[in-house]
Amino acid sequence: MDPVLMVGAWAAAALSVIGLGRVLYHAFFRAVKAAIREELERVWKDQDEIERRLDLLEQTMHYLRQQLDALTRMMQQHVGGGEQ
């Protein structure tokens, strides 16, 4: 086989392997990037859900505090009114 042809064949094979490696690297990088993006979206959705639940809990606690204050005032009036 002609040495120039042999060197050309080896060069073509090396360039093909390098090109395939580059394509696979970029495909892997894109897949990992997409997976990370998807997980971060899930985290943000979960965080939004947690924040919504905490807001509801805060509203409920505020309502209960109001009810407890009203009950305390009623009891104080009742106890204070019975002593007079």
The total number of residues written for the chain in this structure: 84
For the stretch 2-31, pLDDT in tens is: 888 999 999 999 999 999 999 999 999 999
Q: What pLDDT score does 16 carry?
A: 96
Q: What pLDDT score does 66 carry?
A: 97
For the stretch 48-74, pLDDT in tens is: 999 999 999 999 999 999 999 999 999
Three-state DSSP class for residue 82: helix
pTM: 0.54
Rounded to whole angstroms, how far apart are CA atoms 58 and 52?
10
Q: What pLDDT score does 1 carry?
A: 75
